[in-house]
A and B are shown apart, each in its own frame.
Chain A
Amino acid sequence: MTSRQSGASAFFWLLFSGGGTASAMILPALVIVTGIAVPAGWVSESSLLDLVRNPLTRLVLVGLVFLFLFHWAHRFRYALVDLGLRRLGKQAWIFYGLALGGTLIASVAALRL
Chain B
Amino acid sequence: MTAQYTRPLPRSWWLRKANYFVFMLRELTSVAVFAYAIFLIVVMWQAADAASFSGLFETLHEPLSIAIHLLLLVLALIHTGTWIALTPKVVVLWQDDEQVDPDLVAGMNGVAWLVVSGLILWLVLA
Q: Residues on A close to B: CB < 8 A? A: 17, 19-21, 23-39, 42-43, 45, 48-49, 51-53, 58, 61-62, 64-65, 68-69, 71-72, 75-76, 78-79, 82-84, 86, 102, 105-106, 109-110, 112-113
Q: How large is the interface on B (under 10, 10 to 19, 20 to 34, 35 or more residues)?
A: 35 or more
Q: Are the C-beta atoms of B79 and A24 separated by less than 8 Å?
A: yes
Q: What secondary structure prevails in chain A residues at the interface with B?
A: helix
Q: Are the C-beta atoms of B57 and A23 separated by less than 8 Å?
A: no
Q: What residue of chain B has the Cβ atom nearest to residue A23's Cβ?
A: B33
Q: Are the C-beta atoms of A33 and B120 separated by less than 8 Å?
A: yes
Q: Are the C-beta atoms of B79 and A27 separated by less than 8 Å?
A: yes
* Measured CA separation A62–B41 after assembly (Å): 8
Q: B109-126 CB contact bits vs A (8 Å, 1 = yes)? A: 000110011001101110
Q: Are the C-beta atoms of A79 and B121 separated by less than 8 Å?
A: no
Q: Are the C-beta atoms of B48 and A109 separated by less than 8 Å?
A: yes
* Measured CA separation A7–B121 after assembly (Å): 38
Chain A residues within an 8 Å CB radius of B39: 34
Instruction: Give the Cβ gap from B37 to chain A, nearest Cβ, in Å.
Output: 4
From B10, B31, B53, contact of A76 by CB (8 A): B31
Chain A residues within an 8 Å CB radius of B21: none
Chain A residues within an 8 Å CB radius of B116: 25-26, 29
Q: B53-71 CB contact bits vs A (8 Å, 1 = yes)? A: 1100100110001101110
Q: Are the C-beta atoms of B79 and A48 separated by less than 8 Å?
A: no
* Measured CA separation A26–B37 after assembly (Å): 12
Q: What residue of chain A has the Cβ atom nearest to residue B81's Cβ?
A: A24
* Measured CA separation A38–B76 after assembly (Å): 18
* Measured CA separation A30–B79 after assembly (Å): 14
Q: Are the C-beta atoms of A82 and B14 separated by less than 8 Å?
A: yes
**If the complex has contacts A24-B80, A38-B61, A75-B27, are A49 and B37 also in contact, measured as CB distance less than 8 A?**
no
